[in-house]
Amino acid sequence: MKPASILSWLPLAGVLGLAALAVGGLMFGLAGNHAGMRRLPDAATGSTVETLPDAGRRLSIDEAAAAPASAWSAWPGRGYIHAGRGDAVWVRVTLRNPGPQPARGVLADSEYFSDRVELWEREEAGGGWRHEVSGEGLASREKPRWGRMAAFAVEVPARGERTVYLRAEDFFAVWLRAVWWPEEGAFTAALVRDVLAEGIYYGGLAALLFYNAVLWLRLRFPDTGCYAGYLGSVATFNFVANGGFGLLGVGAGSPWTEVIATVALAASGLFLLQFARMFLELKRRVPVAETITRWLQGALAVLLLGGLAFPWMQGTGWLHWTVPAVVAVHACLLVIAVAAWRAGAGQARYFVLAFGFLFAGALPAAVSWLEADTQKRAVMGLLAGSALEMLLLSLAVADRFARIQRERTEAQEQLVEETEQRRAIQEAYADELEVEVRERTRELREAGQDKDRMIAVIGHDLRGPLTALTQSAEQAAVAPSVYPDFAYEAAQAGRRVLLLIEDLVLWARLRAGTIHPGRYPAEAFVGPVVALLRPVAVQRGIAVAVAVPADLCVTTDLVLAQTLVRNLVSNALRFARARVEVSAASVAGGVRLTVADDGPGLPPAVAARLSGDTPGSGLAEGGLGLRLCVEIGRALGIRLEVKTGAGEGTRFDFTLPAAKTEDGA
């Protein structure tokens, strides 16, 4: 064990040491102080005890007193004076006083278990009998002396003797031990000490029970409720077994005291087992122990139900079976607690300590019960051991509660920390979102401006062919012979409008992100474009040179590639003076296509935007065709390179990925 762990145990060890000293002093020092009591028979004074069995309870006092000496048996003082069920026993006590003064003392049954004890003393005058009745089954108002013991005042003359007769009976069996207090004051003082000590003891148990009951009512922890049940049932058993009804002035003899004691004792074992199952987390930590405790609970349930049948039983054997059964439960739980401790249940250490204290105090009582020898000090040992056990288990519950409070505090602190982190994240996210909103707003604004420019470009591009067509149609209507080529020009104008519309549709397709790549020869999208635009070149007197090897294949979207080449060639024909060249060549990793013209060249700003060297999306100067070229280049993932200069013409280059051959090369 680490030094820090040892130091953390020192306060608990100190508290337990003080508690053990206090309880031990209370039970054995205060309650166990019977100074002035003499056990009978007493060889020092010559006091004797004789017994006469009364089978069937038929003898009267006169018959008992007249019985011959041979019928009486001297009792040696060991064990108990005993009579079975349905029988009684007469006890003749001869008290001798060697002192010079009369002794007014108290003759008592030290064990207070007999239902009815009668005293008969010959009166000096008249020859009659003084008759008094006491016992466990009588209320205080019916007894000559208050308390749980059957006690009677007897006066012994100086240097003389006094003979009294006791008759004891019980529902089950008589267990009697006669003791003599030569001084009545010593008996009263011992009685007060016992009541004071047991009042403190039961008051402490009541405080523990109240604390745990309130804790259970407030928190609703099932194991705390089970412990409160265990505490209450053990306190009930100790109270009843120790003659508590007599202290309250209530007459409660057999068989009801045995019923209450047995049921309370069996219930204490049931509650303790359930408390251990939940508190030690046996189902998760020691599954085998969980099964064992269930079987033990079943056995105790049978003992509890059987205890209700005491009024119909012939003896107290059922209680004698219940006592070792509960002792065995504690022994099993001690082993289980050690196993749970080894499995990581730190709270099990309280169980180990608690049962250690309980066994230290209860084993002597258990042994005495099994031997039908319920000595007072054995009972005091049981009370002391059980008190320390319940104190330790209360400490275990309190420790669990404190641990839960610590965990709750830590969870709250963690929750606050997580809330702060979440708030910081939300603030950061809000900042990012604000930046994102500004960026999207800017893009939307630019998109709107771009749309406006596109509308202007479309209007400009459509106005040219439609204006020319309208003028030609008007002139042809006035003088048809002057414009014999009107039909051809109208077809050309219509074709140009259709191409513009096709470009608009393709532009919308690009915005939707629809791409269909495939393997195609370069000639497949260069040849048709040149054939389509060659009439325009012939009309304008521009030569178109094509140099595209037939074996060059690329991977691309055919429609997008054709539209890109068509718009580049169309733009070149618009500005070329005499020549346009379209060529393709194999380069590293692809096929490079070039469209060049000998026109005046593009404005530097337009050329830079086409190449992506400067930001901005406005390409109104280049028309819809060049803008569409930029969009196609982005969609295909290629870069459109532009080389131009004043009076040097314009050259467009772009590279498409080369397609793999059929053999995979």
Check pLDDT > 50 for residue 373.
no
Higher-confidence position of 658 and 369:
658
The contacts of residue 77 (CB under 8 Å, 6+ apart) are: 39, 40, 41, 49
Decide if 61 contacts 129 (C-beta within 8 A). yes
Q: Cα(390)–Cα(209) distance, rounded to whole angstroms?
A: 10
* pLDDT at residue 380, rounded to an integer: 54
* pLDDT at residue 376, rounded to an integer: 53
* pLDDT at residue 395, rounded to an integer: 63
Higher-confidence position of 73 and 536:
73
* pLDDT at residue 7, rounded to an integer: 43
Bridge-based pairing of strands 160-169 and 174-176 is: unpaired
Q: Which CATH architecture has domain 516-657?
A: 2-Layer Sandwich (3.30)
Structure tokens at 437: 């909103």
Least confident residue range of 72-76, 79-83, 247-251, 624-628: 624-628
Decide if 605 contacts 642 (C-beta within 8 A). no
Sheet-wide strand order for 129-134: 73-74, 48-54, 88-97, 160-169, 116-122, 129-134
Whole-model pTM?
Answer: 0.59
* pLDDT at residue 342, rounded to an integer: 86
Bridge-based pairing of strands 590-597 and 649-657 is: antiparallel
The SS3 assignment for 170 reads coil
Which DSSP helix (H) or strand (E) runs through 164? Answer: strand 160-169
Q: Cα(241)–Cα(258) distance, rounded to whole angstroms?
A: 8
Higher-confidence position of 236 and 361:
236
615-630: buried (b, 16+ CB within 10 Å) or exposed (e) per residue?
A: eeeebbebbbbbbbbb
CA angle 344, 348, 353 (to 5 degrees): 140
Q: Cα(292)–Cα(408) distance, rounded to whole angstroms?
A: 33
Structure tokens at 434: 């604000």
Average pLDDT, the chain: 79
What residue ranges do the domains of the chain occupy? 38-182, 223-402, 516-657
CA distances from 619 to 387, 449, 462, 616 (A): 96, 12, 17, 9
The contacts of residue 618 (CB under 8 Å, 6+ apart) are: 449, 450, 453, 609
* pLDDT at residue 202, rounded to an integer: 80
* pLDDT at residue 615, rounded to an integer: 44
DSSP string of 560-611, one letter each residue: HHHHHHHHHHHHHHHH-SSEEEEEEEEETTEEEEEEEE-SS---HHHHHHHH
Closest CA to 569 of 607, 535, 603, 613: 535
Check pLDDT > 90 for residue 267.
yes
Residue type, 163: T
Query: In this prediction, what percent of the chain has a pLDDT beyond 90?
Result: 27
What CATH fold (topology level) applies to the domain 38-182?
Answer: Immunoglobulin-like (2.60.40)
